[in-house]
Structure 1
Amino acid sequence: MADTKAEITTLLQTYAKHLNASDTSSIVPLYTKDGVFMAQHFPTASGTNEVRDAYNKTFSLITLSVEFTIHEIIPTSPSYAIARTSSIGTVTMQSNGGKTNEGNQELFVLQKEDGEWKIARYCFCSVLPPH
């Protein structure tokens, strides 16, 4: 189980790094082939093409600078696990350079695919009051 948690921690840290770099081409391979991305205020993206399109759309609108905290990783079987995280930082609007605070809580469903842990489902919502 310690190896599983370490592998998933590495996956989540890699995801955060690529998210902050607005690097869609490095994020998409972190998802399973049938991965699902459920971003607040956006339609659900299912499968590689939709996930890619969703991140491209996101990064065309904003640039993130956030730090993730992993609160728990719960292996549920040899090939599935759940991770609960939070993130805090800033978001910069591509349209005008304006910055606002960013804070989310996240839930990841992770699946072992071809011997590697990947993101099967990812959902987040803001913990900040609406502005």
Structure 2
Amino acid sequence: MKKVFLFITVMIGLSATAQSKEQKAVEGVINTYFQALNASDATKIVSLFTSDAELLAPQAPTAVGSEQILGTYQYVFQNLKLNLKVTIDKVTLLKDYAIVTSTSAGTANGAEVTGGYRETFVLRKDKGAWKIARYMYNTPQ
């Protein structure tokens, strides 16, 4: 009985460690996304997305795939200089998928973004690396 209990305890510990490692990797992608966003680096941002990703931005057509997502961010960066700080609210891991909810606040062209943003990211493991497969954001107003 002691051996069974020890085995179960070890397995739970290993599972928690693996999940913690995956969660940190997912959070790393989100933090890298915001670093690239603040640096106006459209190419870096696109590298964080899967090739079939979808970007659902408010008051804009859905951008599907790397080329459209690149074009969307290039347009954004021609018009805005963002400086946002992200707060990751929740990470839910589901095998090869992760759902992240976050909020961000800061400035756009030096002016405070009133109310900030709410974001939902769906990440998928792509060849062993976490990538953004779907991204949607809005403002709470």
What is the TM-score when the length of structure 2 is the normalising length? 0.83
In structure 2, what is the Cα distance between the partners aligned to 1:89 and 1:48?
27
Find out whether 1:66 has 2:90 as its counterpart: no
1:91 maps to 2:108: yes
Q: Which amino acid aligns with 1:76?
A: L
AA of the residue aligned to 1:17: Q
Q: How does 1:1-131 map to 2 (within 5 A)?
A: 1-77=19-95, 79-92=96-109, 99-102=111-114, 103-127=116-140, 129=141
Residue 100 of structure 1: how far off its partner (Å): 4.0
TM-score normalised per structure 1: 0.89
The structure that is helix-richer by fraction is 2
How many residue pairs were aligned? 122
Same amino acid, percent of matched pairs = 34
- Which residue does the alignment assign to 2:13? none
Q: Deviations over 1:78-103 (max 9, x none)?
A: x11100000001101xxxxx624251
Structure 1: segments with no counterpart, 5+ residues: 93-97
Query: Which has the higher Rg, Structure 1 or Structure 2?
Result: 2
Instruction: From the two aligned structures, give the one with the greater strand fraction.
Output: 1
Aligned residue in 1 for 2:12 = none
Letter of the aligned partner of 2:88 in structure 1? I
SS of residue paired to 1:58: helix
Give the SS at the match of 2:77: helix
Where do 4+ consecutive residues of structure 1 move more than 6 Å? Answer: none
CA-based RMSD: 1.1
Shift of 1:61: 1.1
